[in-house]
Each structure stands twice: as C-alpha cells, then as structure tokens.
Chains A and B, each alone.
Chain A
Amino acid sequence: MAEFLQAYLAPWWLAYVVAALVHAVLLINVVAVGALIFIWLERKVSGRIQDRLGPTRVGGKFGWLQTLADGLKLITKEDLMPEGADGMLFRMAPYISFCASFAGYLALPFADNWVGARLNTAVFFILAVLGLEVFGVILAGYASASKWSLFGAMREAAQVVSYEVPLGMCAVVPVLIAGSMDLVTIGQMQHGWFTNWFVFHDPFTFITFWVYFTCATASVNRAPFDLAEAESELVAGFHTEYSGLRWSIFFMAEYGSMFAVSGLAAILFFGGWNGPLPITEWLGLADTTNPVLSYLGNFIGMLNFMFKCVFGVTFMMWVRWTLPRLRIDQVMTTCLKYCTPIAAASFLGATLWTYFLPGGLILPNNAYGLVREGQLIDGPYPPADAEGPSKETANEKTAGTGDLISQVAGEHRGRD
C-alpha cells in the first residue's frame, strides 16, 4: 500500500505514514467494534446460560446497542482517582494495557494476506506484545494505592508470567510443523480440507491445542483463571479504583486480547481463514489472477476466520459462566505441574511425528506438504528420491496446486 501511495504523495515518507494510519484505523475499528459486540455477546450468552434474557431493549431488538449505551454512560461518569494514587501511572496503565492488546492485531492475518503488517516472526511478535498487557495491569494495581489492587496486580504478574511458558511452547508446535513463524504462511499451509488443519495433523497437536487454549484463557485473565480481578476475593482486583472511561479501556483490552488469542488459535490450529471444505476453490474464488474473485474468496475467508475467533471467545464465555474460580496456588499448579510438562511432551511428540511422518495423518495429497517443499530448502525431510512411488504420483497429481500456492505466496511477498 505504501508503495502504491508513493506515486501520489509528495514526500516519500508520507506514504508510509498514511499507509500505517489506514491500517491502524482499520484495526482499531476491529478491536473497538469487536469489544462492543463481544460485551453484548457475553451478556447474551451469560443470560442464556443463566436462564435469563440478557439485554433486550436498547437498539430495538436483542439489546444489540446495550454496550454502546453503557459506553456513553461510562464516558459521562466522573473521572475519579484515589487520593494516594500515583497520577501519571494511574492514567497511563489502561492505555498500556490497551496498546498491548491492540498491537497484537498488527500481525494477525484476517484472510490470505489481509494483514496489517506481514511479519516473518508474527507468532513471536503477537505473543510478545500480548504479554506486555500484564505491564499495564501491574501498573494499575501499583498506582491505585489500594491493597486490593496490589493483590490483583501481584497475582496477575505471577500468573501471566508463568503461563507465558506453556503458551509459547504450544505456539511453537504449529510453527515447527509449518517451518515458519509467518502467520500468513502457516495459514496458507492449512489450505484445503479441514483435515489439513494443524489440530488434526497428529495427536500431539490435538493435545497441544487444548493446552494452548487453557493457557490462553489464563493469560488473558478469564475465568476460571480470573484471579487478578477475582470479584469475590479482591473486590475487583487491579481495577478496583478505576471507573468510567479508564475502566472501559481495561475492559476493551480484555476483550481485545481474548479475540487475539482466539485468532492466534484459529490460525495456528484451525486453518485460519480456510473453511472446513475447500469451497472457495470449488467456486473458483481461489483464482488470484482475477482481483474481484480473489477479493471475494478472501472475504469469505475473513468470515471463516471471524467465525472461528467468535467461537473461541464464546467458548471462553461458556467456561467463565460455568466454572468456579481456582485458587492462586492451584492456578500455579495447573501451569507448572500440568500445562508445562504436557506442552513440552507434546512438543517433543510433534517433533518426532513431523520428522518421521512429515505429511501428517491424512496422507498424501495435502497442500502444505507441497508448500513446504517450495519454501523449506533444507528441512529435515528425506531426499526426494528416497520417497516411495505413491508419494511421487501424489505430488504429480497436485503439482498444479502446489505451484499455484508458491506462486501466490511469492506474489504477495512482492506486493508487500
């Protein structure tokens, strides 16, 4: 986009600024509207789970504008700050939290190459910036000059930092299979039928997904791991002293990171924008030479991706409204005694599986084997002539697709 704009804008650097702004505005809309919808959804889901209706009036039907009405109310509220609070840190904390959760979206592809910035270390980047959210929480707890807030902040620090370990280990497993940290590449590799999704690659990835989801729930502070804001214990934890807009920014950050970790799960394990069936191909929408068709295909892909994310978030809500909260020592036990060893074991298992059965369970004509051949030159695979005849014929059969995909990938790289 920046290159495109350079042709029209006078100082060459302005193009980059404008391109960055456009991306940022688009993504901030995703986060803000996402939070709007998710808060409404949470109320509806919790309402239904609890045999209630949830919001019904605001906005005509289903109370779909309830969050907006609440947001307006929060904006009009008095800006309160406790007397002993550290003013600057107190004001800064929600924005740090929000920025951290928002920055994760920069590298999150919504469809094939529909991404703010295509990074070749996207997985690493997202995990790193999402981990920064804890910084805002700790600052909030520390700056509030309230003991309950401090408890919340300390819990958050202990919890999130320890859950980063198994979370990272789980995220590494798909990276290992794909041989790339680029989320777009990882998504492209799972192209085709749902059997190509990494979650069905081998039993270890299946286990890894569940560990990932548990750790993701913990690292975004959702029940049953919501210790930092444990209502019945710490009043409201780190945001006890927050009210009005600042509080709502914390809220937005929470929903933002929920969406981000669900999105990461969707791409790493559930094929990202690829639907369960290769419908876009059947409809001829995977044709990248035609901009309109490929746009349509990508749009459907984005809907796929969104659906997976919303499903992940809804799953987290479902868990939240069903389970009691764990105690801090139990949370740490879950992490250190269960999640970390399981993640490490399945990492090892997935490594061995990838070494000995590189194509995954559903052999042999899956797309990512072919993409891998095009991209990984010296991967740990047996040389081509050592392969059996069946694999070769399969390669020949789908060679066209493979060429197409590597061609597409090359094209996208060029465009960026």
Chain B
Amino acid sequence: MATQLDDPRIIEFDVRTDEMLVNMGPQHPSTHGVLRLVLRTDGEVVSEVTPHIGYLHRCAEKIGENLTARQWIPYTDRMDYLAGMNMNLGWALAVEKLMNLELPEKARHLRVLIVEMNRIASHLVGMGAYGLDLGTFSPFLYAFREREKILDLFEEVCGARLTYSYITVGGATADLPTGWIETCERFLAQLEPVIEEYHALLTTNAIFVRRTAGIGILSPEKAIDYGCTGPVLRGSGVDHDLRRDGEQRYTEMYDGYAFEVIVEKNGHYPKDHNYPAVPGSAVLGDCWHRFYVRMLEVMQSIDLVRQAIDRYSMATGSWGEPIKLTEKLPKGEAYLETEAPRGQMGFYVVSSGSGAIPWRVRARSSSFCNLSVTHDLCRGCLIADVPAIVGSLDIVMGEIDR
C-alpha cells in the first residue's frame, strides 16, 4: 500500500480545501460599473472567472429601430459614455455610408480633432481607473483633473459634458466657437508634461510594474481568436489600427496625418517621444503593455489633435451641416467599424427604403469581445490580479450591455 510520503497525490488530496464561489460585483468598487464576476477560488487562487453581463441593458438597438437616424445619436452617446464623440462618429459614418454622403474637408478635420480629444479623455479615465484598481487613488484624480479641462472644452462646443450628440449624420451640430482652438492648444501644451508625471507615478513605478508586468498575458493568436481590438489587441503586439487599416470612408478622415500605430515592432515601440523604457519583467501582451499602449496613444492623440487643428484652420468650406431630422434613408444596408478608444466599434444599419426610420440597427462593441478573454486570462491568478486584469482591458459596461 502506498503511504502518503510515497505518493504525493495523496498528500495533495489530503490538504485539498473546498473551493469557494465569490461574487465580485455588480456592486463592487473595481468592476467598472455593473459587471458581475463569479470567481471560483481556492483560498487566494482563482481557478475560474465567469463574467455575467446585462445589468445595464437598455434596449438601445431596439430603440434605434423606432427612431430616425439622427434621433438615435443620443443613444450612441450612452454606449461608451467615456467616449461619446467616438460613438457618435461611428453611427454617423455608418448612416453616411448607407446614404452615400460625402463630407466637406473641414468637417472631416473637425471630426478628427474632436474624436482624438475624446480619445485622450477616455484613456485618461482608463489610466486613472486602472490606478484605482491597483490601489492608488491619486492618479485617478490627476486624470480627472485633466479630463475636466477636455470636458470644459466639449461643453463650449456642444453644451454637454458627457453625452454630447455633437458629431451627427452629415457633419456636426455646430462649428467650433471662436477662440476655442487657442484654448485647446494651450491645453495640449499643458497636458504633455503632465503625462510624463503620470509615467513616473504609474508606468515606471516599481510596485506598479510588479503588479502588472507578466500578469494576464494575452498571446496575439488568442487576442485575434477572441476578436479583441483596440489597445488590448495592440498590447499583444498585433499591428492593427482601423485609422490606418479601416474602411476607406473612415481612413480618408486621417489622410495625410502623420501617425504611427502604437504597437511593439521588432522589440520596441515607435520612438517619437520620450517614452519610458519597457521594464525587463514585462512580457508582450501582459497588463503592463496594454496600459502602456494606452498611455502612448494619449501622446499620439495629442499629435493628431495638433495636426487636425492646423488642417482645420486651413480648410475652407462648411463644417458639415447635419441632414434633416426626417431625411429619408435609401433602401440598403451598411456596416462600418471605427477605431474607438476601447477598440473597434461597429454599427450596422438596414433600411427598407420606406422612410427615415431604419429597419434594423445593430452595434458591435469592442468591450464585449475584450471582456470575453477575462476567463482565459484570470485562470490560476490571485484574487488581487482579477481587478488588475479586468482593469487593463478597460471595459465600459454601457457599451457591452447597450
């Protein structure tokens, strides 16, 4: 008969403890809204994570089938509520594609300007909230301090601070107010050095690196298999950005803009700023890289906004009058994906050609696909890593549940 010492499996079986099912959320400080994760844990070690979604479902798509294209714009705001402008843009482009509407040059630059500003705001929140997930409070408030200024700028543009409904089918609801460009430039000049401080506070912080580097490694193959997009995909080293690789209707907005996709190629990231070096313990596709890609995209967006400001100031023509509220949609269907801060946001619209109200409206959200990898990434990690991994995916529940 085998004794315990002879057969290690016996000991293992002897000391096995019961597994525990723990509910993380929907009311939990670090699940970014109303996400509910069911953790199966053995002590501190998590063996299984099951995300439960749907707590924020508001039937947005069904509502879209009862409203005209322009009327549905405010509902897109409430999808990724941290990047309302990008959501507006996605829907507007999809409808414009259906209507085969061409925009004046100035309107396109205006859109780039606004959308990239919102990307900065969104990534700042992502950064701050990630700090919060890892237990440091201050970066969150620093991020919000800078974001407030962007929201102030947006308030000047459209009167709203969160749900803008500014970019709309046919262009935008209004032109930029006078003096806005100068304020925006001042803000960018002030933001750039601050970002360096954030790098010191988080990106290169020893504890931060120890908490994120090598944690939740997402291989490029797996990222593609799960349909991950945005910084999550690029953090795994896949060179894909719709602003460069997307549909022509979308990429023509960025025609002539100098920007490099933020992705690690040949062992290094594009080097046009004083980025902090990648720590030795970081593995491509881990939480640290996802975070880093977001931080670099802020710098990239600052550049893009500057270029857009130049082009917008030079451009002539209209800023893009929106279409009539009751404008009839032609028969047909259109699907278009844009590069929102969290990944590829796609809108699908089908029109029967009978009126201004689309027959079918669907949205494809990036956070939904990005969230689906949590189960894979969290297997075998510690409880403290679960917020670190979910936070690095930077999900917004409004977009997942719609």
Contact = CB atoms under 8 A, between A and B. Distances in A.
- Between B132, B384, B386, the greatest number of chain A beta carbons within 10 A of the residue's beta carbon is seen for B384
A223 B132 CA distance: 13
B326 to A, nearest CB: 48
B136 A52 contact: no
Given A232-B134, A235-B28, A322 B386 contact: no
A324 interface: yes
Interface residues of B, number: 31
B20 to A, nearest CB: 6
Contacts of A326: 207, 210-211
B44 A324 contact: no
B138 interface: yes
B142 A50 contact: yes
B142 A223 contact: no
B4 interface: no
Interface string A224-268: 101100111111000000000000000000000000000000000
Interface string A152-163: 001100000000
B384 A233 contact: yes
A232 B387 contact: yes
A328 B44 contact: yes
A233 B201 CA distance: 21
Interface string B138-159: 1001100100000000000000
A327 B382 contact: yes
Contact of A50 (B22, B141, B387): B141
Contact of A147 (B22, B138, B387): B22
Given A231-B29, A232-B132, A321 B138 contact: yes
Nearest to B385: A327
A224 B383 contact: no
A205 B356 CA distance: 80
Interface string A305-347: 0000000000000000111111111100000000000000000
B44 A151 contact: yes
Nearest to A234: B383
B334 to A, nearest CB: 41
Given A233-B384, A235-B29, A322-B201, A327 B138 contact: no
A232 B30 contact: yes
Nearest to B21: A147
B137 interface: yes
B137 A330 contact: no
Contact of A328 (B132, B138, B382, B387): B382
A51 interface: yes
Contacts of A353: none
A306 B361 CA distance: 67
A232 B211 contact: no
Interface residues of A, number: 30
B382 A322 contact: no
Interface in B2-53: 20, 22, 28-30, 43-44
A230 B135 contact: yes
Nearest to A233: B384
A323 B208 CA distance: 8
Given A51-B141, A326-B211, A327-B385, A232 B133 contact: yes
Given A232-B29, A235-B28, A322-B201, A49 B138 contact: yes
Interface string A48-66: 0111100000000000000
B316 interface: no
A151 B41 CA distance: 11
B281 interface: no
B47 to A, nearest CB: 15
Contacts of A354: none
Contacts of B30: 231-233
A322 B136 contact: yes
B167 to A, nearest CB: 31
A154 B145 CA distance: 37
B205 interface: yes
Given A50-B142, A233-B30, A323-B136, A151 B210 contact: no
Contacts of A50: 137-138, 141-142
Contacts of A231: 29-30, 135
Contacts of A148: 22
- Between B29, B142, B201, the greatest number of chain A beta carbons within 10 A of the residue's beta carbon is seen for B29
A233 B385 CA distance: 9
A182 B44 CA distance: 41
B207 A324 contact: yes
B133 A329 contact: no
A46 interface: yes
A22 B96 CA distance: 81
A233 B211 CA distance: 13
Contacts of B202: 324
Contacts of A147: 20, 22
Interface of B: 20, 22, 28-30, 43-44, 131-138, 141-142, 145, 201-202, 205, 207-208, 210-211, 382-387
8 A-B pairs with least C-beta separation = A325-B135, A232-B30, A324-B134, A50-B141, A324-B136, A327-B384, A324-B207, A50-B138
Given A232-B387, A324-B207, A328-B382, 16 more contacts: A148-B22, A154-B43, A223-B135, A223-B136, A232-B30, A232-B133, A232-B135, A233-B30, A233-B387, A234-B383, A322-B201, A324-B136, A324-B205, A324-B211, A326-B207, A329-B382
